[in-house]
Structure 1
Amino acid sequence: MTQQGVRWTAEQVLALAPDATSRKAGGKLGTAGPWSETGSSDEGAVWGLCKGSGSRPYRTVVDVVNVTGAAGALGSVGASGSVGSSGPAYKCSCPSREFPCKHALGLLLLWSAGEVAAVSGRGPDWAEPWIAARRERAREKRAADAPGSGSGPADPEGARRRAERRAERITAGATELEQRLADLLRSGLATAEQSGYGLWEETAARMVDAQAPGLASRVRELGAIPSSGPGWPVRLLEECALLHLLDQGWLRRDRLPDALAATVRTRVGLPSAPDGPPLRDDWLVLAQYDTADAKLTTRRIWLRGTASSRTALLLSYGAAGRAPELSLPVGLTLDAELSFHPGTGGLRASLGERFAPPAPTGIRPPGMTTAEATAHYGEALRDDPWLDSVPVTLDDVVPTPTGDSWQLADAEGDTSLPLTPTSRPALWRLIAVSAGTPIKITGECGHQGFTPLTAWPQPPKRPIPLP
């Protein structure tokens, strides 16, 4: 299969845009009118000249190949062209600070529509040096990552001492946080409403100083609960209990089973490395969605192995206002290796070598009833008590109203799952897709209900992302 064997859709290309303005501007440049001297290579580079307001056209080149040599999954890398594991990378002579810029988006849209001719041999003189330099860096990285290359910690003993010092800081932070929770319960939950958010932010800052970002994040979430609406004292008590449980888990981690201890380490904010051999499979992309705060955009991608039946979560990050690096088209399969991290239910994985571009498939994930989904979430809580939700696929459910909210009811049965409040943006699209008939839906099932992420009409219809 050549690099040009799988065309991206316009929707997949526009998912790269860092914001709505870039998406709109890139869409306007996705036609042949402003472009000249376009071309693409079998090695995965696309280039072209785009007429702008000045006398000289903008020179735009995109590399859609990852460092393993397979066609890159959709993703973004800086204009410098630094080699990442996902690609594509972009280079444009325009002055924009957005990555990708509107010209790169327009060029990819033109390419996805099949309006960029394949060219044998080298690219143009203004594009080829950048392409060649990127290929060379890719070869160097593959050589460095190869078994026996000698890569790894240069000072294992120093790394061990740093890990011990960090563990001591986290222990001091967890001990201080336990005292803070005890003071709150001793004085009564009503004092949390009176003291305001400042005290919680100060406590979160102390957890950051203790190098426990996971504890800091939970403290900030806890501080936002007082005065947040009816029933806030109950929610505050629940979150205090979960935070206390995490604190105690860390302080007694040497007494926990290995898997639960690994989950505790991850929850307090310690990084984890994959363990065990990588698993190669054709991974069906179940869902993809982004969450954002003031500093970071987090992309979550759910996969399911078609042979192994194993579920995996890939995480990718981008600075605020920037698209995360990795993006995979929902409903396609990816022939690749995944390496799984310890703890957190065995779901978190890192993407390794890819052996082919994402490919269309008629495969649909197996589903379950709403009652089975609830039981599945309950079982997952045994491995990770702090788990908000788990990925599930529901079979033959119908969106139905219930009072002021909506639920997913089994077409054959008397059980249902409420939709979470955060499902509102996807609700009306889900209702339109279902049209009152049973449908297969992938989403996340948790203590607040079900959040739909992807609808699966019968082939040949394509899966429909819902957020």
Structure 2
Amino acid sequence: MEERWSTEHVLSLAPDAASQKAAGKLSSPAPWSGTGTDGTAVWGECKGSGRTPYRTAIELATPAYQCSCPSRKFPCKHALGLLLLWSGSDGAVPAGEPAGWVDEWLKGRQERAEKRVEKVPDPEAVRRRAEKRGAEIAPGAAELRLRLADRVRHGLADQSTAGPWEEVAARMVDAKAPGLATRVRELDTLPQERLLEEYAMLHLLATAATRVGELPAELAATVQARVGHTLEKAEVLAGPTVRDRWLVLGSRDSSDERLTTRRIWLHGAKTGRPALLLDFGRPGQAPALALPTGRLVEAEVGYYPGAHPLRAALGARYGAPEPDPADPPAGLTVAEAVAGYGTALADDPWLESRPTVLADVVPVRTPDGWYLTDGHHTVPVRTSSVPESALWRLAAVSTGRPLTVFGEFGHRGFDPVTAWPAGQRPVGLTNP
């Protein structure tokens, strides 16, 4: 018998609250015809406003979606509605063989996946490209060091003649260092009390970027990633991969005028290793990669190189997501979380935060802000990056009792993402 998803997990895949609401109206059999499932995919035709019904199919293991509707949201309301119908009760979507259009789509996906596996990067080409990038960035990094030193020389309090950092950021883009450009642009928005700290970290990064050849291999890879020289996904998956049953700890979307970024955090059930998956979509459009929070996914993961490997690429997956584990993930005390971040910071001095599970903590609101406490130590919650509504939701699911909370912990506090109330399913605190 195939494992069906819960309503909460289906809705966690929605790009926004409006899609959740619209999907609910399509979760009954009435608008659907030709529905079916073979355990690996679900398909059906949904009656719309036109004469031709929309053809919708979902490959469950990824999950991946296909729909003939014109919606730019991903997954669309039809895909979500079909998943709700399938997960609602036995018999709502009968077992069967895929229709021709479904089989064609699934075979096309399989062929494209096989081609990606066959396309193994040439190691020598990768090395030459890295050397070329290093030569391109060196002049830009050297110029950044001079600009930073000049600002400090004139005094942080007197920036009247300095001008905005956008010109310097553009120079970093020309030098093929988008990571440096992003950090430089942020200087114009920082409060004055943080400028010296960021100047120092930028100067350290720029200096390291001009001397990559002198650094240990892992630290050199970290520096190259920080300045924006990342490997292609195929290059990462061509190297060693880690197969595990990965617990999906949570996800968070962020958007700007250029793109939407989705961050998905995993924890290896066997290896205990964390992994961060990144996926991107056009502005206003959700990224394609979506994994239900709280589920176990057996897959291969390849890590991007670095002194503190965290970012990863998702490779082959084996079967559909498994049911929620009976217990929440093992967590740390606040003191252990602080020590763990300190150890990671020694490997990567530019690390803003790291994924952390805190055990038996209670959210507390004080006149000074929100905190999480385990009864012995407290950690501040970063209210600048977490909506107030999410914190009140965290307090509501806690009801004053200890619970497990996953988030990102760093030197500026803790960003909660997912909470596990005792004996309940995980609750997402950021995405719809």
TM-score, normalised relative to structure 2? 0.90
Among 10, 13, 18, the residue aligned to 1:13: 10
Tell me the CA shift for residue 458 of structure 1: 3.2
Helix, strand or coil at the partner of 1:346: coil
Q: Corresponding residue for 1:201? A: 166
Q: Corresponding residue for 2:352? A: 388
Deviates more, 1:28-37 or 1:251-260: 28-37
TM-score, normalised relative to structure 1? 0.83
Among 240, 246, 249, the residue aligned to 2:205: 246
Helix, strand or coil at the partner of 2:240: coil
- Tell me whether 1:418 sits opposite 2:385 in the alignment: no
Among 115, 140, 148, the residue aligned to 2:111: 140
Tell me the CA shift for residue 107 of structure 1: 2.5
Q: Corresponding residue for 1:47? A: 44
Q: Corresponding residue for 2:368? A: 404
Identity across aligned pairs (percent)? 49
Tell me the CA shift for residue 214 of structure 1: 0.4
Q: Corresponding residue for 1:76? A: none
Q: Corresponding residue for 2:258? A: 295
Task: For 1:122 and 1:356, locate their aligned partners in 2 and report how far apart those are by CA, in whole Å.
Answer: 18
Question: How many positions carry a matched residue from both structures?
Answer: 422
Task: For 2:216 and 2:320, locate their aligned partners in 1 and report how far apart those are by CA, in whole Å.
Answer: 39
Q: Aligned in 2, Cα 1:139/1:285: closer, same or farther, shift over 3 Å?
A: closer
Q: Aligned in 2, Cα 1:95/1:264: closer, same or farther, shift over 3 Å?
A: closer
- Tell me whether 1:330 sits opposite 2:306 in the alignment: no
Tell me the CA shift for residue 118 of structure 1: 2.3
What per-residue deviation string (whole Å, max 9, x for no partner) do you get for residues 195-247 of structure 1?
A: 55xx311211111111111001101111212xxxxxx2220111111100100
Among 52, 60, 67, the residue aligned to 1:91: 67
What per-residue deviation string (whole Å, max 9, x for no partner) do you get for residues 381-426 of structure 1?
A: 1111111111111122222233331211223x3x211111223342
- Tell me whether 1:152 sits opposite 2:120 in the alignment: yes
- Tell me whether 1:102 sits opposite 2:77 in the alignment: yes
Q: Corresponding residue for 2:62? A: 72
Among 419, 426, 429, the residue aligned to 1:463: 426
Task: For 1:435 and 1:157, locate their aligned partners in 2 and report how far apart those are by CA, in whole Å.
Answer: 58
Helix, strand or coil at the partner of 2:261: strand
What per-residue deviation string (whole Å, max 9, x for no partner) do you get for residues 294-326 of structure 1?
A: 111111111111111111111111111111121
Q: Aligned in 2, Cα 1:20/1:395: closer, same or farther, shift over 3 Å?
A: closer
Tell me the CA shift for residue 432 of structure 1: 0.9
Tell me the CA shift for residue 365 of structure 1: 1.8
Task: Give the letter for the 1:101 counterpart.
Answer: C
RMSD between aligned alpha carbons? 2.4
Task: Give the letter for the 1:328 counterpart.
Answer: L
Q: Corresponding residue for 1:437? A: 401
Q: Which has the higher contact order (CA 8 A, sep 6+)?
A: 2
Task: For 1:339 and 1:295, locate their aligned partners in 2 and report how far apart those are by CA, in whole Å.
Answer: 27
Q: Corresponding residue for 1:35? A: 32
Q: Corresponding residue for 2:229? A: 270
Consecutive unaligned residues of structure 2, counting only runs of 5 or more, are none
